[in-house]
Homo-oligomer: A and B are copies of this chain.
Amino acid sequence: MPKETFFNLPEEKRQRIIDLALAEFAENDYDTASISRIVAQAGIAKGSFYQYFENKEDLYNYLLALGTEAKAQFLGSNAPDPQMGTFAYIRWLSEAGIKFELSRPKLSQIGYRAARSGTLPADLQARARVGAAVFFRQLVEQGQAKGDINSEIDPDLAAFVFNVIFSELGGYLLNRLQDEAGLEDGRSLFETAEAKQLFDQILHILEFGMGARE
């Protein structure tokens, strides 16, 4: 956790440091990211950094936490009718997740990187991997209980499929839609008819593939 010092900083300065650090860790691995670059850009003394944070790992942890918290809030504030079907819910979740990715791309990027890095301080590595997988696992089990998902399917495997598809889908769609539509603001791209259609197709594939078969 950052030290008190950091939270006592003027809002403006604190935010500047966070933004620059996010940018650094979004563009670089944990090892490659440089505290020196961050402080240089932020215009603060090297020593000051260590009055705000314990060390590099402390900063990194903090950014990661910011990411998950922001995403949780984002999803929470847009939460849909809890009664909806499993696939409808997944669709909502996927869209909302992607919109979050677009509205806070660096915040997303850093968490994303964390799960794949392989050069993180060992404790972080482990923690980074579990989150999403566990969540989807529960979702699948509930879906099977409701009869939305074929209960012969191994729930862990199904969770793997959801996890892997939805964690890459955002990037895929962004690339594709930008190529076709030129450089527009990402957020609006996901409001287009084409985006909707692609979402539909993915959901259909999963629903047909996993749905309960009479």
Residues of A within 8 A of B (CB): 27-29, 31-32, 109, 113, 116-119, 153-154, 156-158, 160-161, 164-165, 168-169, 172, 176, 197-198, 201-202, 204-211, 213
Contact = CB atoms under 8 A, between A and B. Distances in A.
Given A29-B29, A210-B205, A168 B164 contact: yes
Given A32-B119, A209-B205, A165 B161 contact: yes
Contacts of A211: 208
Copies in the complex: 4
Nearest to A159: B172
Given A29-B118, A154-B197, A160-B172, 19 more contacts: A28-B118, A29-B31, A109-B118, A153-B201, A154-B201, A156-B176, A157-B201, A157-B202, A158-B205, A161-B165, A161-B202, A164-B168, A164-B172, A204-B209, A205-B206, A205-B210, A206-B209, A208-B210, A208-B211
Contacts of A198: 154, 157
A199 to B, nearest CB: 10
Contacts of A161: 165, 202, 205
Contacts of A201: 153-154, 157
A113 B2 CA distance: 31
Contacts of A168: 160, 164
24 contacts: A27-B119, A28-B118, A29-B29, A29-B32, A29-B117, A29-B118, A31-B31, A32-B32, A116-B116, A153-B201, A153-B205, A154-B197, A154-B198, A156-B176, A157-B201, A157-B202, A158-B205, A160-B168, A161-B202, A164-B165, A165-B165, A204-B209, A208-B209, A208-B210
